[in-house]
Amino acid sequence: MEECGALLATERYGSGESWQYVVKDGALERRRDGREAESRGNSFVGVFKSVFLPQGYPDSVSGDYLQYQFWDTVQAFSSSLSGTLATQASLRGVGVGNQEATVAAATVTWLLRDGTSMLGRIVFAWLKGNKLDSEAKKWRLFADILNDIAMFVEILAPFFPAWFTLIVCTSGIFKSVVGVAGGATRAALTVHQARRDNMADISAKDGSQETLVNLAGLLVSLILIPLVTDNPGLTISLFFLFTALHLFANYKAVRSVVMETLNEARLAIVLRHFLRDGYVPTPLETNREEPVFLEFRKTLPIKLGVRLQEVVQSPEQFRLALMRKDAPFLIGITNGCVQVCLSAHAHTRDEIRAMCQAIWLSDRLSPSGRHQDFWEMVHKSYILIDTEFDRFHKGVEAAGWDVTRTLLDWDEWRLEWKPKIR
């Protein structure tokens, strides 16, 4: 006969729950943490987690998931309230409540706004789509700032009836950019957060969280609308209050993200610390330093994966660029940019190495200079990278960076050259 209370087995649900199976009075009993049963409060928490958090949380997501989602929820709630104020202003602008307004005029205005939004979405995706992976934080924050500008423009539009259509079309273009940048960068962040190839689950639960927040915003909006109707001063005051909260929450959200993959900004920070201080900062330390606002470059821009003709313009320049015939890339400078041409046989390690060399050159060359000694600088950069890169790469791996892939903004041109140039 089994001994009463004998432990038969234990089981865990990730790191969130631990249960024991024991024999009691001849029957199999399941206990949680040594207690007889769950409380109602714990049961409610469990249901809430299963509805709004990914399966296996917190083990199935990145360590920054909860902090990011908290601030993302705050920004979504404040944006929902700001959107209500903007929508009310737009409806008033197209003639809702005005007996002299016609349905046809309102319809034309709405169609023009939608049409310009569609064009804006296509053009922005064409011009900047390739930047949204490598600079997800910057474009995420940019999208939210632009969204606030678009809503403010909509609130002001009714005060300028002669320009109303032009203003709402402009706002529509802004919102189309917001839609592309916000959606694409959210997808990039989901890839970062997913630790068990569970991107679909994370996206679905993010949608549930957003729906809950919008529902809460809707309930608060029902209280706000009677207060702000025919009260422009209160409308604008509340809008600025919600906008300030929205921008602060967005800044905190992108600051909380800790990417372990290297893009240009993070690699530049890591390389500069290594060359200056002799150590490689961790992803957490580097992400704290990474800029999250779009900025004007103070160093020479870098273009990766370009055509050969953008690197060299003569056979002599080609020989100079190929001063290291075993290097899987060529570096040149034209049109005020450091240009990198990548070999067709290059690997991720080679991409990181080429980018390190390009960053070193960019930091030491003035954007407005003529750079007659550029090839001498390239030669120095090869010597430096040959000496330090192996130690640097090992330090990057040891610090916790993912070196199996990168978020460097490479174009698709690849080059093959003969091993010996006559």
- When pLDDT is averaged across residues 210-221 and rounded to a whole number, the result is 92
Same domain, 333 and 399: yes
Q: Same domain, yes or no, for 107 and 176?
A: yes
**Domain assignment of residue 288, yes or no:** yes
- For residue 323 the two structure tokens come to 């001063």
Range of the domain at 269: 264-415
Is the separation of the CB atoms in 52 and 208 below 8 Å? Answer: yes
In a domain, 362, yes or no: yes
Nearest 5°: the CA angle 59, 292, 200 is 35
211-220 LR contacts (CB < 8 Å, sep 24+): 212/52, 213/73, 213/76, 213/77, 213/80, 214/76, 214/80, 216/77, 216/80, 217/76, 217/77, 217/80, 217/81, 217/84, 218/80, 220/81
> Does residue 421 form part of some domain?
no
CATH number for the domain spanning 201: value is: 1.20.1250.20
Q: Is 60 part of a structural domain of the chain? A: no
Instruction: Give yes or no: residues 245 and 270 share one domain.
Output: no
Mean pLDDT computed over every residue of the chain: 85
Q: Provide Rg for the chain, Cα atoms.
A: 28
pLDDT digits (tens, 9 = 90+) for 319-328: 777 777 677 8
Handedness of CA 342, 348, 349, 353 (dihedral sign): positive
Using alpha carbons, list the distances in angstroms from residue 292 to 160, 231, 247, 289, 393.
35, 36, 13, 9, 25
Contact 132, 139 (CB under 8 A): yes
> Do 240 and 268 lie in a common domain?
no
The CA-CA-CA angle for residues 360, 129, 177, to 5°, reads 120
Residue 192 and residue 241 share a domain? yes
Confidence of residue 233 (pLDDT cuts 50, 70, 90): confident
Answer yes or no: do 70 and 94 share one domain: yes
Q: Residues 105-129: what's their mean pLDDT?
A: 84
- 254 against 21, higher pLDDT: 254
279 and 394 co-located in one domain: yes
pLDDT of 42 above 60: no
Count structural domains, the chain.
3
Three-state DSSP string of the chain: CCCCCCEEEEEEECCCEEEEEEEECCEEEEEECCECCCCHHHHHHHHHHHHHCCCCCCCCECCCHHHHHHHHHHHHHHHHHHHHHHHHHHHHHCCCCCCCCCHHHHHHHHHHHHHHHHHHHHHHHHHHCCHHHHCHHHHHHHHHHHHHHHHHHHHHHHHCHHHHHHHHHHHHHHHHHHHHHHHHHHHHHHHHHECCCCHHHHHHHHHHHHHHHHHHHHHHHHHHHHHHCCCHHHHHHHHHHHHHHHHHHHHHHHHHCCCCECCHHHHHHHHHHHHHHCCCCCHHHHHHHCCCCCCCCCCCCEEECCCHHHCCCCHHHHHHHCCCCCCCEEEEEECCEEEEEEECCCCHHHHHHHHHHHHHHHHHCCCCCCCCCHHHHHHHHHHHHHHHHHHHHHHHHHCCCECCCCCCCECCCEECCCCCCC
Distance CA 354, CA 335 (A): 19
Residue-wise pLDDT for 367-416, tens only, equals: 655 555 777 888 888 889 889 999 999 999 999 999 999 999 899 999 88
Q: Please, which pLDDT band fits residue 1 given cuts at 50, 70 and 90? A: very low
> Lowest-confidence range among 10-14, 186-190, 259-263, 402-406?
10-14
Single pTM value for the model: 0.84
Q: pLDDT-derived band of residue 252, with 50, 70 and 90 as boundaries?
A: very high
In a domain? residue 271 = yes
Whether 72 and 125 share a structural domain: yes
Give residue 27's pLDDT: 82
Domain boundary among 204, 235, 256: 256
Q: Is the pLDDT of residue 202 over 90?
A: yes
Does residue 119 lie in a domain region? yes
Are 290 and 374 within one domain? yes
**Does 59 reside within a domain?**
no
Last residue of a domain, one of 206, 236, 256: 256
Answer yes or no: do 143 and 250 share one domain. Answer: yes
332, 312 contact by CB (below 8 A): yes
350 contacts: CB under 8 Å, gap ≥ 6: 328, 329, 342, 343
In the listed set 256, 278, 313, which residue is the last one of a domain according to the structure?
A: 256
pLDDT at 5: 67
Q: Give pLDDT, residue 29.
A: 81
Residue 124: how many CB atoms within 10 A of its CB? 19
User: Is 2 inside a domain boundary?
Assistant: no
CB atoms within 10 A of CB 285: 15
Together in a domain, 292 and 403: yes
Tell whether the torsion through CA atoms of 257, 263, 265 and 270 is positive or negative.
Answer: positive
165 shares a domain with 89: yes
Write the burial class of residue 304 (CB in 10 Å: 0-12 exposed, 13-18 middle, 19+ buried): buried
Q: Using pLDDT thresholds of 50, 70 and 90, give the confidence band for residue 129.
A: confident
Measured distance CA(370)–CA(176) in Å, rounded? 40
